[in-house]
Structure 1
Amino acid sequence: MIEITPRNLSGEITIVSSKSLSHRYVLAASLAEGTSVIENILDSDDLVATKNALISLGAKISGNKITGSKIHCVNNQIDAFESGSTLRFLIPIAMLQDKSITFNGSNQLPYRTLSVYEELFKDKYEFIRPSDKFLPLTVKGILKNGVYPLRGDISSQFITGLLYALPLVEGDSKIELTTHLESVGYIDLTLDVLNKFGIKINKVNDGYIIFGNQKYQSGNYYVEGDFSGAAFFIAAGLIGRKITLKGLNPKSLQGDKKMIDFVRQMGGKIEELNDGYIVYPSKLKGITIDIGQTPDIGPILMVLGALAEGETVITNASRLRIKESDRLEAMVVNLKRLGAKIEYLSDDSVIIYGNDTFKGNVTVSSYKDHRIAMSMAIASIKCENNIKIDDETVVSKSYPSFFEEFTKLGGIYK
């Protein structure tokens, strides 16, 4: 537990490397022939899980050097920790070979749905799990080509997993989307990284054509800064003092770059640099924000909505409920503890009535969720008195240096 003393943050920091891109580069390099050098890989719990999993499937990883291999079983037990990306990306990859692999995980991961894969694989492959949760899960291939109908409104991670695996099978395949695709920005990232490693995939109206018998080509790449992590410090600059954020690519394909557009619509002043942004204190106004494509920035946008003039409506937030926590409910509870007025409009939308400050002398919960903990830390800037967060260590999942940066910008906690 930590206790934070309210302080405006100001100064300059370099944003942590992108978790989404780190996963994708490490995975592609592990499937490639030869050795790749991937600079600026995020050092977080999730990436440790992904690296360990790929080593269990034959890759050699030492620092930023990754030597790929044809997938084979080195260790038939894979611990995904709490990482949904690791689990969902690696299941089809593990099925590229013919030995059983068992996946496990901790906290809420065993209860995060794998139904998309289950519907695809259960009748054709070994796909065994307990009746009351999804992990431990034992799978066995060998994965075949074919037409794979997938929902696009549960998680893009399932699509990414197949986009990585299917180019390595015999024969061509198609991913056929059966619903509207949400979080399309993450698929754009996937396709961009695959293209860099020599994998060709055709986008069609209802999905993707994946050519079989392809080979990943090794290369040297640099992981750009993370807009999902930057969102918290963008918010800090808007409600505190001027903050300069370096290490961000204004031309990035990351979906959470949409944070810039959202806060500008709210009246936020943000200046673009070649390698980042300058964020200025701004008087924000409430707007309606559809987070269907960008659920990870939903919690911090709810903090800003509670401090904006007028009413902020957050819509299409259903996917917040199936993350490391039920983030929608977690934020509603925590913001109410801080004195905000917030109401559900439906199961996946809320209305927030803005105020100038939050009250203090309360303890809020992280719900064992990194993005909830970071959102509450930023909310402390506008608290009238100290607040406590029950578990700050959860930020190690995606932003291990978050509280170091928080302190560097003037934050105080004990």
Structure 2
Amino acid sequence: MTRHSKTHRSKTGRSKTGRSRIGRSGVIAVAVTGVLLLGACSTQRESLTAGLGVAAECTGPQARAAQQQYAETWRKAGEAIGLEGLSPSQADICEVDTSAYAKNEPGGGYRIALAAQGPTNAWATSNEEAFKHRAEQRDVDVLYASANGDVNKQVDNVQQLVAQRPDAMVVVPMGDAITGQVRAAAAQGIPVVVCSGRLGEGSGAVSTVTRDYELQGTLWAEWIAKRLGGKGKIAMLSGIAGVPTAELPKAEAKKIFAKKYPGIEIVAEQNTDWSATKAKTVAAQLLARYPDLDAIWSDSAITNLGVYEAYSQAGKPTPPVTGDVTNGFLKAVQGKNVPFALGAFPPEQSAQCLDVALDALAGEKVPSEVNVDAAVFTDQELGRYVRPECSDDLAVPTALPADLLKKLKLC
């Protein structure tokens, strides 16, 4: 998730750039535009396909292997910022039997629908372009529909896409309102992969591919607790109120602080709408009211950019901050003494979503949930990740090819 350009920023794709990009050659555009407000969710996955004729094995060796791999992403992420032994409270990952969806298309030629956020900001544009790039590599025709930030529009989009009878569908959910449409698609024999977000139980999706929000919230809470020795005053800054992308990590962090670190006092909670401009105003107010904050738990480097600007303007050192990764924040604080711990939410995870959909069409067993690998690092490794020659809007690190980055004007 990358935001930038300090005008208006919406999460997940962050910074609104004003670009309106429609499909590339070979992409069928059904609708245009959209904003990503990631869907709400449950961590239980066993019942996602219940009643739809799709079997899920949750206790066999393949399921256990998937659970171990899921837990491994937690361990690796924790160790990257000095947190040993980090593991999920539960990893209910099952292996979903997709043989009912198997199709034999010699040489490819699948038609896969993408119910997208829309290219309203750099993260979202990169997310969609990564999907389309992967589709070209795998000889897939894309049916594209963008919601333009309106969950009701996305409901209509999913219905329209289903009417075109795609072989499979990938949905970047903006909320639970589309659950019924996803369930209907699955009931009609269309395997659905939820991408870069979550839906609740009973959606019928064969798999959910995203970076674990609970992991993000846990990483940032534990890092702050370790840095402060379990005691101190902190503020919590999150994105748009009510949006799961903001609410889920924050809820997990608050639970950790309450259960494990009673010495950490949360003196303020504010929403910044993933806007550096608003975050700067919020941070200035916090600084005036709480001049002795020991740390700021944040879910966004866009927010952190505003925090840094507020503290710098006041001539005060920026307290330790957390969040996801934006090149603009890294560029702003390079060479400055700003302690941070960041965890990326890579836009190119959409390519992995497409791969899982193709696995389903091949009748292969797929994991009910995939926790996307992502870079996790502190200010000590800033030089390894910052891209001074690239746009503030670039999500770093990036796996997108250089020619695509140039096309998107990100590098």
TM range (shorter): under 0.3
TM-score (norm 2): 0.28
TM-score, length-scaled by structure 1: 0.28
Higher-strand-fraction structure:
1
Q: Does 1 or 2 have the higher relative contact order (CA < 8 Å, sep 6+)?
A: 2
